[in-house]
Amino acid sequence: MTELAGKHIVLGLSGGIAAYKAAELCRALVKEGASVQVVMTEAATQFMTPVTLQALSNRPVVMSQWDAREPNNMAHINLSREADAILVAPASADFMAKLLHGRADDLLSLMCLARPMDTVPLIVAPAMNREMWQHPATQRNVAQLKADGTHVLAVGTGDQACGETGDGRMLEPEEILQDLIAFFTPKTLQGQHWLITAGPTFEAIDPVRGITNLSSGKMGFAIARAAAEAGAQVTLVAGPVHLPTPRGVQRVDVVSAQNMHQAVMNASDAATVFVATAAVADWRPATAAEQKLKKDGSGQVPALSFVENPDILAGVAQSARAQSGALYCVGFAAESHDLLAHAKAKRERKGVPLLVGNIGPATFGQDDNALLLVEASGTQELPRNSKRALAQQLVAEVAQRLKARP
């Protein structure tokens, strides 16, 4: 996908060791379809060479307001008028203080001050030592920059170049890229709270064995990311998967179906949309052995008895909030055959307005999928695509249905 296609980003670098991350960030922006114009301060050139960023952006790097290549000698005007956004990464403590006071003693700060504020947003990714970040002066500056309309990204936590550990690291390039994509995403879900389940559940047989399935959780995580980018508050209840938490999403980790049921019930009262993508085990062992069950050489297999797990989707769909229309429920069905027939039957059985079907064996663990939307009025196919693209399409489809409700 090229999610920034048609966007022109001015990537500004101020002085700081995190400038080395700007090379990967520039590459990622270009890979997503954006055109990138790099502007560097003199201090930034002490940490990263203009030649590197010129090669990655395929454009000459601009460093001086007196750049003779500009016919009118007004680089600060020309560069800012062409941009869809100015992204300063890294933004040092000194540079943010300069922005706050409206100082303009180099091209980058001059360009930020001269940009049309209503059409060219300014986004900064802070990067500094933990003490500098926590200093009251920096925190005052950040608060005032936000009040002035600057979009200040969060900082990372971890090891710093100085040898200390804490807040103040610049976000990683992939995190900044995701935040930028989210920034440009229309906020069609503003004011909504989406509750999403994802991944498999694990039903213990003994301390080391259990019953589970092949669900990777990728579809549910993709939906959580897309919903958050569209402005929703998102709570993601995740079974045992190895996936990073999407930016801006609150994650609740669970293991068993009973754990997931309890977590969903705890969060459902605050939700406006419930999307049940998790592949929840239908049954669990009636009792889990306290010790590992071992072979004894007799050839006898331990007798296992099962009980049915709570039906999370049906339980939420039958709640008073769902019945009143305050909570919109979307179910998922992973089938092995006869998708349409099984999906229709499941939608009616669960009592949900929208059921999303797919062929489980063809999608578990994969990065792509094909979806079938089933509702009372008919069906709609979402052809095979990346799970990221399908998640965005599904979020848009749900947003349209919510908007059309009386």
Q: Tell me, what amino acid is at 43?
A: A
Phi-psi region of 29 (alpha: psi -120 to 50; beta: other; left: phi over 0): alpha
SS3 assignment, position 36: strand
- Is 218 within 8 Å of 367 (Cβ atoms)? yes
- 218 vs 330: CA distance, rounded Å: 17
- In order of 141, 282, 371, the CA distances from 136 in angstroms are 8, 54, 51
Q: Is 396 helix (H, G, I), strand (E, B) or coil?
A: helix
Rounded to the nearest angstrom, the gap between the alpha carbon of residue 112 and the centroid of all alpha carbons in its chain is 28
Distance CA(373)–CA(379), nearest Å, equals 5
CA distance 209 to 296: 17
Do the beta carbons of residue 65 and residue 113 sit within 8 Å? no
Token pair for residue 149?
A: 């309309």
Based on its alpha-carbon atoms, the radius of gyration of the chain, rounded to whole angstroms, reads: 26
Give the separation between CA 343 and CA 357, rounded to whole angstroms.
6
Report residue 351 as tokens.
């009592």
Distance CA 352, CA 375 (A): 8
Active site residues: 162
Q: Helix, strand, or coil here: 128?
A: coil
Q: Identify the three-state secondary structure at position 367.
A: coil
Name which of 198, 192, 265, 268 is nearest 233 in CA terms.
Answer: 192
